[in-house]
Amino acid sequence: MAIAKATSQQPLSLLIHNKPPANGKTTYHRSVFFILQAMESQSDNGKGRSWLAWSIVSLFFCLPLGIPAVILSVYIRKDNGINNYRSAKKKSTAVLTLNIISTVLGGITILMVIGVASIFLSCAAICAANNTINRK
């Protein structure tokens, strides 16, 4: 199989060239990567998506990654405003990566805090129960 170049009609998909049919014409079948298709559908007329709302939320999950995400999100909006779509898309990918990492790290941290707190509270309850039993 040979892979053909994507046209402007199919910007993020791969066209896979199959065997030509009996009539001699070539046919192409579209195979779209899920993540790339999702990112393509997020953009509006080639503009980069700013992810500003997610960036603001990511401030609460991981501050060191959230601050650059918010700053880049603002720059993306600025780049889209001056029709600098290439730069906006590059920054959009960076912001998306920062937001994913921030959300995952923040989620893991929250789960660890809940786990440690539950262990601490259960140990405190056991110690309190033992003190109550020993006093009687």
CA distance 74 to 120: 42
Is the pLDDT reported for residue 73 higher than 70?
yes
At 41, the pLDDT band (50, 70, 90 cuts) reads: low
Closest CA to 60 of 97, 93, 109, 11: 109
1-26 pLDDT, tens digit per residue, is 444 444 444 444 343 444 445 565 54
pTM: 0.59
pLDDT (tens digit, 9 = 90+) per residue, 81-136?
998 999 999 999 999 999 999 999 999 999 999 999 999 999 988 988 887 776 76
Residue 9 or residue 57, greater confidence: 57
Comparing CA positions, the residue from 37, 49, 35, 56 lying closest to residue 89 is 49
Distances (CA, A) of 127 to 114, 119, 123, 130, 131: 20, 12, 6, 5, 6
Domain borders along the chain are 1-42, 46-136
- Phi then psi for residue 4, to 5 deg, are -90, 160
DSSP code per residue over 36-82: HHHHHHHSSTTPPP--HHHHHHHHHH-HHHHHHHHHHHHHHHHHHHT
Question: What is residue 112's predicted lDDT score, i.e. its pLDDT?
Answer: 97
Which pLDDT does position 4 carry in this prediction?
A: 46
Q: Does residue 40 carry a pLDDT above 60?
A: no
- Separation between Cα atoms, residue 134 and residue 4, nearest integer Å: 79
